[in-house]
């Protein structure tokens, strides 16, 4: 049988924009956040492309994209991403801010996955970004897996292949630029993708038209996520300050350079 692949993907401000953190009525936010152009989270985008590729070469497979974001912003992003891969959207109307608590986001995503009609848990693969351009705690996807009762989890995935026996062969990043080869008997499993191994697919108008039949109804019936702050607060938010101290020194030894760098960091 094929796979039922659920991709968890958020949206983030276009990285080419200047982001200025501010403190708003609801807590930390970005200045003019609703005016900033948005894109699909780059980490999750790899997960979506890998899911679409796996589904295309595995008969009887299906891909769902679960995303929590303000409906208007999500609609803008879906207009472009819909031409890249085939999927069915499950939309949650909620905050896309990086200041939202990872556990609250994970609980909302897990509840949405549990509510998907026709989802076969025995064939379920949950994909997502190993990290995130907004919620960079690196914990959201893991909590989603735990909420779904999935203990087979793999993070930092660069490659996934299905063996002749139906088991999964997974390459996970480890230190030193190397990979750990993991084997999993099969679904259910959670995979947090790094960069993946596939290029971004070209726009396909036919795929876009097929996706649009389900995208707009999904956006119209998007449920409110109800992610609460629950008393959490931030003392301050600010853009990291740039600091550069440059000296030109000739004939310095490697040990002296390393020692000076360590002293500068400690200072």
How far is the CA of 191 from the CAs of 5, 25, 220, 252, in angstroms? 10, 36, 29, 46
pLDDT at 205: 84
> What's the fold here for domain 4-224?
Rossmann fold (3.40.50)
Which own/partner pairs from 13-19 qualify as long-range (CB within 8 Å, at least 24 positions apart)? 13/37, 13/38, 13/39, 14/38, 14/39, 15/39, 15/42, 15/133, 19/239
Q: Are 120 and 245 in contact (CB under 8 A)?
A: no
Structure tokens that stand for 230 in this block: 């629950």
pLDDT tens series, the chain, 267 aa: 789 999 988 888 777 666 767 676 666 667 767 777 788 888 888 889 999 899 988 899 999 999 888 888 888 888 888 888 888 888 888 777 767 777 888 888 898 899 888 888 899 999 988 877 666 667 888 888 999 999 999 988 888 888 888 889 998 888 777 888 999 998 899 998 887 777 778 888 888 888 888 888 888 887 777 666 555 666 666 666 666 767 788 888 889 889 988 988 887
Structure tokens that stand for 212 in this block: 């649009």
Hey, how many other C-beta atoms are within 10 angstroms of the C-beta on 196?
21
pLDDT at 42: 84
Spatial CB neighbours of 17, under 8 Å, sequence gap ≥ 6: 36, 37
pLDDT at 125: 93
pLDDT at 238: 65
Cα–Cα dist 177/211, whole Å: 38
pLDDT at 222: 77
Quick one: how far is CA 74 from the chain centroid?
A: 14
Does the reported pTM lie above 0.75? yes
pLDDT at 136: 61
């Amino acid at each position: 049988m094929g796979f039922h692949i659920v991709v968890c993907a958020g949206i983030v401000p276009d990285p080419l924009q200047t982001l200025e953190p501010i403190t708003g009525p609801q807590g930390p936010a970005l200045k003019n956040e609703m005016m900033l152009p948005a894109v699909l989270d780059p980490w999750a985008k790899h997960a979506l492309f890998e899911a679409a590729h796996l589904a295309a070469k595995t008969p009887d497979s299906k891909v769902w994209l679960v995303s929590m974001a303000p409906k208007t912003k999500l609609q803008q992003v879906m207009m472009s991403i819909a031409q890249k891969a085939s999927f069915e959207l499950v939309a949650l109307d909620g905050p896309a801010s990086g200041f939202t608590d990872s556990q609250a986001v994970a609980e909302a995503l897990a509840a949405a996955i549990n509510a998907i009609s026709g989802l076969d848990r025995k064939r379920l693969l949950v994909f997502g970004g190993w990290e995130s351009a907004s919620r960079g705690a690196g914990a959201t996807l893991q909590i989603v897996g735990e909420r779904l009762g999935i203990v087979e989890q793999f993070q930092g995935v660069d490659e996934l292949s299905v063996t002749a026996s139906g088991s999964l062969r997974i390459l996970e990043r480890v230190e030193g630029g190397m990979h750990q080869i993991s084997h999993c008997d099969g679904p259910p499993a959670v995979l947090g993708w790094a960069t993946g191994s596939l290029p971004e697919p070209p726009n396909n108008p036919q795929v876009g038209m097929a996706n649009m039949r389900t995208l707009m109804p999904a956006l119209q019936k998007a449920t409110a996520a109800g992610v609460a702050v629950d008393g959490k607060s931030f003392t301050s938010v600010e853009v990291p300050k740039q600091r550069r101290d440059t000296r030109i020194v000739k004939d310095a030894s490697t040990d002296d350079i390393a020692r000076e760098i360590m002293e500068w960091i400690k200072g």
